[in-house]
Structures are given as C-alpha cells and as structure tokens.
Amino acid sequence: MTDTHKTKAKHMLRRDVLRIGGGVVLSAPFVSRAWAQTTEINMLAWYGHGEPDIVGAFEEANNVKFVPKYYAGGDNMLALIAQSPPGTYDVILSDAEFVQQLNLAGYIEELDANDYPFDDMLHEDFTKFPGHWDGDTLFSMMVRCGHLGVSYNTTAMSAEEASSYNGFWKPELEGKVGHFDWHLPNLGMMSLLNGNGAGLWDLSDDQWAAVQEKTMSLRPQAGGFFDYGGTFNGLKNGEMLAMCGIGDWITGALERDGAPVASVIPAEGGIQWTESYCIGKGTDKADIVKSFIQYMLSPEGQVKSAQMLAYPGFAITKAGRALLQEVDPAEANRSHQIDGMENEPIALINEGRIHYRDIPQQQTLEDWNDFWSEYKNA
Amino acid sequence: MALRGHAPIQGGNGLSGRRRIDIYALTWRLPIILWQLLFFVGPVIFMIVISFYVVKNYRMTEAFEFVNWQRMLTRGFFWDSYWYTLFIASISATVAMCLAFPAAWTLAFRASEAQRRWAVFLLIIPFFTSYLVRTFSWYVILAESGVLNAVLGYIGLGPFRMLNSHFGTIVGYLTLTLPLAVILQTVTMANIDKTLVEAARNLGCKPLATIWRVVLPLSKTGFIVAALFCFILAFGDFVAPFYLGGSQEPTLPILILDTTKSGQQWPRAAVVAIMMMLTLFTVAFAAIALAYRKPKGAKT
C-alpha cells in the first residue's frame, strides 16, 4: 500500500514537472516578447531625474524603462560622455552652460523648436537661452531651473545675516560653513560678493585675483567640502550651519522634511542653475526621447519636476506653474512660485538680481579648479 | 625506468623531464601572468602614455608633451596633498598596528584554537558589507549630535568635532584596515614557537621585555607586511577622507577626482596616479627589504 502511494506520488511529481516545465517553455516566447517590447532609454543626468517620482508615470504609459547614469557637475557630465561611444546615452540632462560644449563636440542632435511650448514660457530669456541655439537651430530644451544663494540653518543665522554673502564670515560659524564641492557656484558667489554683478564670470586678472583673495579669507570658516549626499547630511545633522554653493535645490528637500534650514538670494545677487534636455547623438530612440522631453514640459511634468524628491526646481512654463499652485499650493508657497510673492523667482530675474550660471570667460576651467584645489589645501 | 608522465628520478633524458615540468608549471602560471598583463601592466602603460596627452575642448588628444607633468609637479596644492596623504596614511597604519596588537596578542597566545577561529570569522564579517555603508554608519556615531558625543555629554565632556576632520579620516581608514591588521598579526604570532616565549619567561624576562625582545623580532616579517597593507589601503582610499574627513585637506585620490571633474583633465589625473604608484612601489620595496633583512652577524 505504501509502495503504491510512493509510486503514485512519483507519478504525480513527474506529471507536475512536465506540466510546469511545459508551461514555462510554452510561455517563454510571450515573456520574451513582452520584455522585448519594453524600450530601455539610457539617461545621463543629475541624481534623481531617472527615479520613479519623475519618470514612473511616463514609463508606465509608454512601456519604456529609463536606465540612468548620474553625475555631479557639468565637467563630470562631459567627461562621462567623452568616455562613451556615440549613442550610449539617448537623453542627456545638461546644465545650460555646458550645452554649447556638448554641441561643439557633436554629442547632441538637433531639435525641432516647433515640438516644444516656447509660447508658454514664464520668462522671455527661457525661449532663447544662451548656448541652446546655434543660429536658428535648437539643440537643447530648458526644463527647469533654480536659484543659488545663502543656505543656512535658521537656528544659527538670522534672515538678515543671510541677506549677504558676508554672513558666511560670522565668527560663530567658524568651522561650520560647508562648501558644495564644485568651484563654479562657490567662486561665482565670491565674485558676486566682490561686486562683479552681471560680469561675475567675465573677470579680468585683477578681478580674478581679488576673488581668490576674498575666497581664501573664508577658509578658516570652512568645515568641509561635500558632494550632494554630504551636503544633505551636513545640513541635516547640524554639522554645517551654513552652506556656500547651493540653494533651495538642497535646502528645499530638507525643509520639506521639517529641517530648520532655508535659502535666500542675498543683496549681492544669486546664481541660476538651469537644466536642459538634449537628445544624444546617434540614438535610435529619438522619437520616444522627444516625447519624454515634451512630457517634462507638460503641466504634469513640470509639477513632477517642482516636487522632485531628490531636489526641487522651479516650473518654467505658465501652465506648469498654474497646475502646481492648484495641486500643491504648499510647495508653490514654500518655493515662492506665486505671482506677487516676495522672492518670486521670475521677479528676481526681472530685478536683475539673478545671474545665469556660466563658465569662466577670461580664465580656463582648469585655472578655477586649480585655485579651488589650493583653497581646499589651504 | 621512469614512470609514464613523471620526470625520471635518476638518469634518463633530463632535458625532456625539465621541459615537461616547465609546461606543467606554465599552465598554472599562465592565468595569473595573463591577468597581470591585461589588468595591471596594460593599464599602467596606458596611464603613462595618456599622462603625455593634452586635452582640447574636453577631448583628450594624442600628443607627447610634458605640460601635464610640469603643471602638476609645480603646483603647491599637489605637494600639499602628497605630503598630507603620505602623513595621514602612515599615521593610520601606525595606529592600526598599535590598536590591533593587544587583540592579536590575546588571540595568538591566550585564546583557544576554537576561540581564535571564531574571532577571525567575526573580524571577516565586516567585509561582507559595503565599505561605503560602513563609512556612512559612522555619521550616526561621530556627528556632534551623534551617539558618542551624547555619551560624552553625560560625563560633562564635549561636544567634540569628529566628523570632517583628520580624526574622522583616520576612523574611516581604521574601519578599512583594523580588522585586516588584527588578522595578519594574529596569524603571524600564532605561528611563533611558543616554547621560545616560555623560555624567555623562565629565564626571567618580564612580559613587556618578552614582547619586545622575543615576540616582535620573531613577528617582524608578518608585522611589516600587515603595516604595509594598512598603508597601501589608506594611501589609495577615497571614501574616508571624502566622507568622514570632509575633504579637508584633500588627499591624492580626492585630487584625482577633482582633476577629472574639471575640464576632463584625465592626463593630469594620470600624473597624480603615477606619482601615487611610484610612492607605493618605493614604500613596498623598502618594507619588503626591511622585512627580510637578516640581522647583522646572522648566518646565511
């Protein structure tokens, strides 16, 4: 009897194996076909742009999957592209000041301006952003921006103290001023403090020497040099009480979590970071990438960008801002994206207090970087 | 008559015997030789070559110019980073060796075989997790509002600044090197002939003198190799000085990153990397020479 059971069990087992195995074999073509239908889009971007909160809905609607490669800083982005064969990246998020370099090096495709909502931009500058056009040919589409100024812990610094870059020299902040480890925004801020205004990137030898001297005087206050994660942690755990080289793109994310931090545009002016999408040269997915860029410029995409978990940015289209105010008034209010509000970003641009981030005009990037290394070693 | 497939024991065709042995040995040596050629010698040659390239419009261009060498080696910040890296890696290796010794000595001379096995297993466990994760976990402990300062606060001390400092960097280095130092020291001392230690004690040698005059000389080779490993790991580490040291001051690995980040200066980064390798080779050869140097008067 036992033997009979064993035999039966063996038979059932064999049958089960055949059934399951057969099912797997028969379903394999469908599975592989379903996989084949999912298009992978290789993205080169700052951290966060390929995360589900930004691309999830687009992926679901279009059966695509973003494969992001993240960088920190435009130089870093150029280095990554230069090391990769053409066609490696389908979509590239670039800092605006580096678009021209991408174009000169032949890393990006032309865009058709008619595909994008230029008539809905919040500011005229956004329609003809420097470096994005070569004559009448569009090469990159601006999608978001943000402002850099004085970022600080509100328990250690008053709003009045933060209203000037001189606040970084507050004696109580000795060893507590952090730097975002990228020379461009830090030295740009020092240039603004030196009164270079709109010419902050176009420095004569004397002006450049003065910027270096001013920056060096900040060294005793400096408590460290950080990447995105380090900056975030430094401000969050109170190790750093003020931060040079950043703005609401980091403090905004912390503020939303209830940390006592804020960013303001000081009297000397602030710097705008601008992010733009390009289609990688040699990609065979240009159509779907174009759709993605259009999606990011749609009101829905603009709201996602403003709410981005990694770091928030301003909406740049009127429809995007309107939808943000409607669906997330708290974020619109926190980031001053309401017409007539104090420190409203477009008004700041119109008042001439915001300067677009650029690369040094009379020195090379290596000159600035060498000085930055000297500063870190001082 | 020689056995088939074996070298003749006596007489016979000695040449053919050696040839067979050579092929056998070469078969086993070949993978490592190929590996080293492909993944060490090849990249090193490539790195030396690109250190003479120049960068134009963010692109490396083939050239044979000394501009990168000249630019890097004449900059004060390079030498500041160089001496700082050398200094802090040496300090870290010394601290690791000193901290590891009591634990290793206990494991080698006081612990049972089973206890020693468990201890070595526990020392290996940290390597199961990412070094980066282990480094980040120090944030919770070392921050001004962290666990250590909270404990010190109870006895009226602090708060002390431990993150973004030299101390933080050394803590990070020790996270990487200390378990290794303990393991290497333990293995070294466990292989010492215990009767020599006992003889020294029986002849009236005090415990510290026994360590100094018997244990350390007998462990010299293993200890120097352990210290060398600690130094090499710390010298090339990017994570600890960046995340726990706050990049102040920047070490050579951070300088490499800074150099590549700006203007895609891979050739200049190659110069820094070559200088690091030359330094490591010099230190390693000096350490090995010291480790195997025979004492004066010793029979050869």
Measured in whole angstroms, the distance separating CA B208 from the mean position of its chain's CA atoms is: 28
pLDDT category at A366 given cuts 50, 70, 90 is: confident
Beta bridge partners of residue A67, listed in sequence order: A42
**Residues B180, B229 contacting (CB under 8 angstroms):** yes
Using CA coordinates, name the residue in chain B closest to A224. B246
Domain residue spans of chain A:
39-145+272-350, 146-270+356-377
Shortest CA distance from A377: residue in chain B: B249
Cβ count within 10 A of residue A360? 21
**Contact status of B258 with chain A (Cβ, < 8 Å):** yes
Q: Does B260 touch chain A (CB under 8 A)?
A: yes
Tell me if B250 is assigned to some domain.
Answer: yes
Paired tokens of B135: 């480094």
Angle between helices A205-216 and A365-377 (to 10 degrees): 20
* Per-position b or e across B118-135, b if 16+ CB within 10 A of its CB: ebbeebeeeeeeebeeeb
Q: Hey, are the CB atoms on A377 and B146 less than 8 Å from each other?
A: no
Beta carbons of B235 and B167 less than 8 angstroms apart: no
Partners of B250 on chain A (C-beta within 8 Å) are 225, 373, 376-377
The reply to whether B147 falls in a domain is yes
Look at residue A28 and give its three-state secondary structure: helix
Cis amide prior to B249 (ω within 30 degrees):
yes
- Asked whether A244 and A178 are in contact (CB, 8 A), the reply is yes
What is the rounded CA–CA span in Å between residue A196 and residue A203?
8
Number of H helices, E strands in chain A: 14, 13
Name the percent of chain A lying above pLDDT 90: 78
pLDDT (average), residues A231-237: 91
Residue from the list B58, B80, B144 with its beta carbon closest to the beta carbon of A101: B58
pLDDT, position A11 = 53
For residue A205, CA distances in Å to A245, A367, B15, B74, B161 come to: 23, 12, 75, 21, 38
For residues B267 and B61, give the distance between their C-alpha atoms in angstroms, rounded to a whole number: 10
Helix (H) or strand (E) holding A69: strand A64-71
The size of the A-B interface in CB pairs under 8 A is: 103
Looking at residues A92-96, what average pLDDT do you find? 95
In this prediction, residue A84 carries a pLDDT of: 86
- Whether residue B48 lies inside any domain: the answer is no
A230 and B263 within 8 Å at the Cβ level: the answer is: no
* Overall average pLDDT of the B5-26 stretch: 56
User: Which of B71, B262, B265, B268 to mutate to test binding with chain A, by most A CBs within 10 Å of its CB?
Assistant: B262
Given a cut of 80, whether residue A355 has pLDDT beyond it is yes
CA distance A154 to B214: 61
B163/A239 CB distance under 8 A = yes
In whole angstroms, give the CA distance from residue A99 to residue A103: 6
pLDDT-derived band at B28 (thresholds 50, 70, 90) equals confident
Tell me, rounded to whole angstroms, the distance of Cα A194 from its chain centroid. 27
Asked if residue A177 lies in contact with residue A352, where contact means CB atoms within 8 angstroms, the answer is no
φ and ψ at residue A374, rounded to 5 degrees? -60, -40
Q: What is the tally of structural domains in chain B?
A: 1
State which CATH number among 3.40.190.10, 3.40.50.2000, 2.130.10.10, 3.40.50.800 fits the domain covering A146-270+356-377: 3.40.190.10
At A18, the pLDDT band (50, 70, 90 cuts) reads low
Q: What percent of chain A has pLDDT over 70?
A: 90
User: CA of A163, closest CA in chain B: separation in Å?
Assistant: 26
Q: Which amino acid does the sequence have at A123? A: H
Tell me whether residue A286 is exposed, middle or buried, using C-beta atoms within 10 angstroms of its C-beta: 0 to 12, 13 to 18, 19 or more: middle
- The complex's ipTM? 0.75
Q: DSSP string of B38-62? A: IIIIHHHHHHHHHTT-EEETTEEE-
Rounded Cα distance, A105 and A111, in Å:
16
Please tell me the distance from the alpha carbon of residue A178 to that of residue A49, in angstroms, as a whole number: 25
Structural tokens at position B193: 């002939």
pLDDT 10s digits, B110-146: 999 999 999 999 999 988 999 999 999 999 999 988 9
Distance of CA A293 to the CA centre of its chain: 15
Q: CB contact, 8 Å: B163 with chain A?
A: yes
Determine whether the interchain pair A370/B247 forms a contact, defined as Cβ–Cβ distance below 8 Å.
Answer: no
Under the banding of pLDDT at 50, 70 and 90, the label for residue B8 is very low
User: Which of B190, B225, B204, B239 minimizes the C-alpha distance to B93?
Assistant: B225
Q: Is the dihedral of CA A167, A173, A178, A179 positive or negative?
A: positive
Burial of B233 from C-beta contacts in 10 A (0-12 / 13-18 / 19+): buried
**CB neighbours of residue B144 within 10 Å:** 17
Distances (CA, A) of B107 to A29, A130, B186, B187: 59, 67, 6, 9
The model's confidence at residue A29, banded by pLDDT at 50, 70 and 90, is low
Contact B264 A75 (CB under 8 A): yes
Segment A326-352 shows an average pLDDT of 96
Angle CA A13–A17–A22, to nearest 5 = 150
| pLDDT score for B21 | 64
pLDDT at A21: 60
Does the pLDDT at position A130 exceed 60?
Answer: yes
What is the Cα–Cα distance from A215 to B231, expressed in whole angstroms?
A: 34
Domain A39-145+272-350 has CATH 3.40.190.10: yes
- Residue B36 token pair: 């080293």
Going by pLDDT thresholds of 50, 70 and 90, the confidence category of residue A22 is low
Minimum distance, in Å, between the CA of residue A358 and any CA atom of chain B: 14
Q: CA A227 from chain center: how many Å? A: 13
Cβ atoms A313, A275 nearer than 8 A: yes
Separation of alpha carbons B17 and B126, rounded Å: 48
Report yes or no: A326 and A148 within 8 Å, Cβ to Cβ. no
Q: Which of A76, A239, A368 sits opposite B144 (nearest CB)?
A: A239
Q: Reply yes or no on whether the pLDDT at A142 is more than 50.
A: yes
Residue B33's pLDDT is what? 92
- The torsion angles phi and psi of A264, rounded to 5 degrees, stand at -135, 160
Structure tokens at B161: 């600044």
Domain of B244, in residue numbers: 75-292
Partner residue facing A79 (CB), from B146, B245, B260 = B260
Task: For chain A, say whether B247 makes contact (Cβ under 8 Å).
Answer: yes
**A345 SS3 class:** helix
* Model confidence, pTM: 0.80
Task: Tell me whether B86 touches chain A (CB under 8 Å).
Answer: no
Mean pLDDT of A265-273: 97
- Say if CB A206 and CB B229 are below 8 A apart: no
Residue B146 lies in a domain: yes
Distance CA(A129)–CA(A143), nearest Å, equals 11
β-pair partners for A145: A274, A314
Q: How confident is the model at residue A27 (pLDDT cuts 50, 70, 90)?
A: low
Chain B closest-CA separation from residue A103 CA (Å): 11
Residue with tokens 């390693």: B284
Rounded Cα gap, residues A88 and B37, in angstroms: 29
Per the rule left: phi > 0, alpha: psi between -120 and 50, beta: everything else, B111 is beta
The pLDDT of A26-31, averaged and rounded, is 54
For residues A176 and A170, give the distance between their C-alpha atoms in angstroms, rounded to a whole number: 10
Tell me if B287 is assigned to some domain.
yes
- DSSP conformation class of A343: T
Beta bridge partners of A261: A153
CATH assignment at residue B164 = 1.10.3720.10
- Closest-CA residue in chain B for A103? B57
Of the listed ranges A80-89, A252-261, B5-14, B264-273, the least confidently predicted one is: B5-14
pLDDT averaged over every residue in chain B: 89
Residue B226 inside a domain? The answer is yes
Q: Kindly list the residues from chain A whose CB atom is less than 8 angstroms away from the CB atom of residue B252.
A: none
Rounded mean pLDDT, B206-228: 95
